[in-house]
Structure 1
Amino acid sequence: MSELVQVIQHGGVRELRMDRAPVNALDDALCAALLHALQSAVDADVAGIVLSGNAKVFSGGLDVPHLLSHGDDRNALHATWKAFFDVAAAIAGAPMPVAAALTGHAPAGGCVLALCCDYRVMTRSTDPARPLQIGLNETQVGLAVPDGIQRLMRRVIGAHRAERLLVAGAMIPAEHAAGIGLIDALADDAEATIQHAITWLQAMARLPQTPLRKTRHIARADVREALDSVVLDDFINDWFQPDTQAALQAMVARLKKP
């Protein structure tokens, strides 16, 4: 298994911990490692899967400098975006429950992966001035949110509230996210967050599995359909819009500042 994903067994529950410093940015390699780890968990028929990150960041989303390094190579861009959506689809289509242990920030693609999970638990903000945050902040960096991803957000928090957050590209504190149902529970620290996710999955594992898995499959059909509806060519066309490129380049410049 790649060192980019740590595999930790908790009895019948398997934790897949992203480990690409510093922010678990999703490039081709991390996506491939995640896809392999998810498939291995499915093949092993584990009782449940925990997807986690580090104590500061669950995942910072797609690796924008990596994407920009592709330049005008549409095939390379398509491959990177497809790798990400393949991971999202694997989470959404897993036959067993998947819980996101959000021990740190979850912007953009990190939020998308969390929305594909059955259950989300996030660490409380210890510093009110610098709260842990989650959200689809794409518009702030110049990207449109495709309908399929918007559907994931609307499914969880409702259409009107989703519109407000999506259009503004808002990142919201963990406590606010819990209040509107974007996450299901809060925990006091990273270790407690992971343990809460494990405990929830263990409770699911104690139920009769055939009816549980069949009911899940039916209930989550809209998640799979939402991801299937994303047209990557449309997304890549938007990627090359001048204002999108300007916003992305400005973001990368900010990241390079000491």
Structure 2
Amino acid sequence: MSELIQVVQHDDVRELRMARAPVNALDDALCAALLEALQGAFDDGVAGVLLSGNERVFSAGLDVPSLLSHGDDRAALHASWSAFFNVARTLAGAPMPVAAALTGHAPAGGCALALCCDYRVMTRSADPARPLQIGLNETQVGLAVPDGIQHLMRRVVGVHRAERLLVTGAMIPAEQAEAIGLVDALADDAAATVAQALRWLQEMARLPRAPQRKTRQIARADVRAALNRVDLDEFINDWYQPDAQAALQAMVARLRK
């Protein structure tokens, strides 16, 4: 298995821990490693999959400097975004339950991957002045959120609240995320967060497998359909708009300071 993914087996549940320092930014290599690890879990018939990150960041989302390095190479940019959406669709279409252990921040693509999972546990903020946060903050960095990704937010927090969060690109603290249903549960620290997500998966595994999985497949059909209707060509057209490029370049400049 790639060094970008640490695999931990918990009886019949497999944890896939993203390990691309420092913030699990989703570049082509990490997306490929995630796809390989997920397919391996599917092939091995595990009872559940647990997706986790590090104690600072679950995933910071797409690796924007890497994406910007493609410049005007539209084909390369298309391939990179396709890699991400392939991971999202694979998570959404997993044949077994998938839980996300959010032990750190989950902005943008990190939030999107978490929303593709069945169940989300997030670590409580140890310092109220510096809370752990989650959200689809694309508009703040110059990108429009595709309808398919917006659907993932709407289905867990409701249409009106999703509109407010999406349009403003809000990042919200873990406690607020739990209050509105964006995450399902909170835990006191990273270890407890992983343990809570693992307990949920183990509870799911105790149910009669065939009816549970059939019911789950029906209940999550909208998630799969939403991701399948993402228009990547339109998204890339928006990527190259002057205001989007200006905002993305400004974000990268801030990261380099």
Range into which the TM-score falls when normalised by the shorter chain: over 0.9
Aligned pairs for 1:172-251 within 5 A: 172-251=172-251
Q: What amino acid is aligned across from residue 85 of structure 2 in structure 1?
A: F
Give the unaligned 5+ runs of structure 1.
none
Shift of 1:112: 0.3
> Residue 169 of structure 1 aligns with which residue?
169
Q: Kindly provide the CA deviation profile for residues 59-115 of structure 1, in whole angstroms up to 9, marking residues without a partner as x.
A: 000000000000000100000000000000110000000000000000000000000
Shift of 1:7: 0.5
Measured in 1, the distance between the counterparts of 2:93 and 2:169 equals 27
> Residue 24 of structure 2 aligns with which residue?
24
Shift of 1:137: 0.2
Shift of 1:16: 0.2
> Residue 48 of structure 1 aligns with which residue?
48
Measured in 2, the distance between the counterparts of 1:126 and 1:243 equals 36
TM-score, normalised by the number of residues in structure 1: 0.99
> Residue 84 of structure 2 aligns with which residue?
84
Q: What amino acid is aligned across from residue 209 of structure 1 in structure 2?
A: R
Aligned pairs for 1:62-141 within 5 A: 62-141=62-141
Measured in 1, the distance between the counterparts of 2:130 and 2:179 equals 18
Shift of 1:20: 0.2
Q: Kindly provide the CA deviation profile for residues 190-211 of structure 1, in whole angstroms up to 9, marking residues without a partner as x.
A: 0000010110000000000000
TM-score, normalised by the number of residues in structure 2: 1.00
Shift of 1:39: 0.3
Look up the SS of the partner of 1:49 in the other structure.
strand
Q: Kindly provide the CA deviation profile for residues 32-79 of structure 1, in whole angstroms up to 9, marking residues without a partner as x.
A: 000000000000010100000000000000000000000000100000
Structure 1 residue runs of 4 or more that deviate by more than 3 Å after TM superposition: none
Look up the SS of the partner of 1:95 in the other structure.
coil
Q: What amino acid is aligned across from residue 162 of structure 1 in structure 2?
A: A
Root-mean-square deviation (CA, aligned residues, Å) is 0.3
Q: Kindly provide the CA deviation profile for residues 143-194 of structure 1, in whole angstroms up to 9, marking residues without a partner as x.
A: 0001111001001100000000000000000000000000000000000000
Shift of 1:236: 0.3
Measured in 2, the distance between the counterparts of 1:240 and 1:81 equals 14
> Residue 15 of structure 1 aligns with which residue?
15
Look up the SS of the partner of 1:129 in the other structure.
coil
Aligned residues: 257
Measured in 1, the distance between the counterparts of 2:249 and 2:170 equals 20
Measured in 1, the distance between the counterparts of 2:156 and 2:42 equals 25
Measured in 2, the distance between the counterparts of 1:13 and 1:187 equals 19
Shift of 1:140: 0.2
Q: What amino acid is aligned across from residue 254 of structure 1 in structure 2?
A: R
Look up the SS of the partner of 2:92 in the other structure.
helix
Percentage identity across paired residues of the two chains = 80
Measured in 2, the distance between the counterparts of 1:163 and 1:11 equals 40
Shift of 1:256: 0.3
Measured in 1, the distance between the counterparts of 2:182 and 2:209 equals 26
